[in-house]
A and B are shown apart, each in its own frame.
Chain A
Amino acid sequence: MAAESYPEDLKYHPEHDWARIEGDQATFGITWYAQDALGEVVFFEPPEVGATISKDSAYAEVESVKAVSDVYAPLSGEVTEVNEALADNPERINEDPYGEGWLVKVKLSDPSEADQLLDVDAYKNLLGSDS
């Protein structure tokens, strides 16, 4: 499992999801905190390519041996790609949550929604008050 980290170039959603925003495109995943709370991921149920997903709504599921967790969309848009490698290697979400463990790529319908997300300091503060 990876060491705890929260990259500075990402935007964070309070449900422990991250977004890497590049113009009107973004990559989504779950944070180190989320994968640690869930434990070893053994199954990722992705949305379909082309699916419309809405900010703050569940768009996928990750499962550990004993638990299921919804994954919430940090931003709204249309899914353009899902991380197919996770079908055979879901543990990549634990090993590299911000890299090979990315979940989906999305064409954003309203990039200005990003203003509502947390920066790394605000997210770390949230984690601090959580625990």
Chain B
Amino acid sequence: MNDFYEFLTGPALWAAFIVFIVGLIVRLTYLYGISKERDRVLYNHVNVKWAIRSIVHWLIPLGSVGLRNQPVFAIAFFLFHICLLGVPIFLLAHNMLWQEAFGVGLPSLPDSIADALTVVFLLAAAVLLLRRIIRAEVRFLSTAWDYFLLILTSAPFVTGFLAYHQIGPYKLTMILHVLFAEILLIIIPFSKLGHIFLFFFSRVSFGFEMGRRGARTW
């Protein structure tokens, strides 16, 4: 077990991050390359205001009618994403590891808050999962892959929570925690989870497309 854990937090972690970063760079570079010929709309009608408005209105919880019409979903959706990004990045345990490995680290959240946010995240994820099952139009669109990705994204949080509270076999929980996170990192560049960056590209595209028509940009 210890060897496997060493492997996961050593070479495997390096590999996962490299695939994550390089994969994203390759994907974005490729898209940029083909866009120069096939997406002239993106270059002919550039306007920073349109781009910002398009992005901002969907970054704030109830900034668009689509979200206002489904407020429970909107709130769960935002909490999910805020915690998804906030907790791993500002977690004390993670920052300690960065400090040990590279001598740098970000400011950290107090553990009690990180813990609470983890619970918030898991509740939000549960709401999203239930919604997917309950609402007919969402269920109809959902594939096994959609369910898998939602569960995979939640897995590091579940295992992290269990590990922190020392519930269950600690070593196993930690191995699963790192393993799930690494699988997630590797999948991100090659799937819909690429929306981490592609959200911005798509919104900007829509902003330009509508702005050039004198229409509302979001």
A, B: real partners: no
B interface with A by C-beta (< 8 Å): none
Q: Which residues of A contact B (CB under 8 A)?
A: none
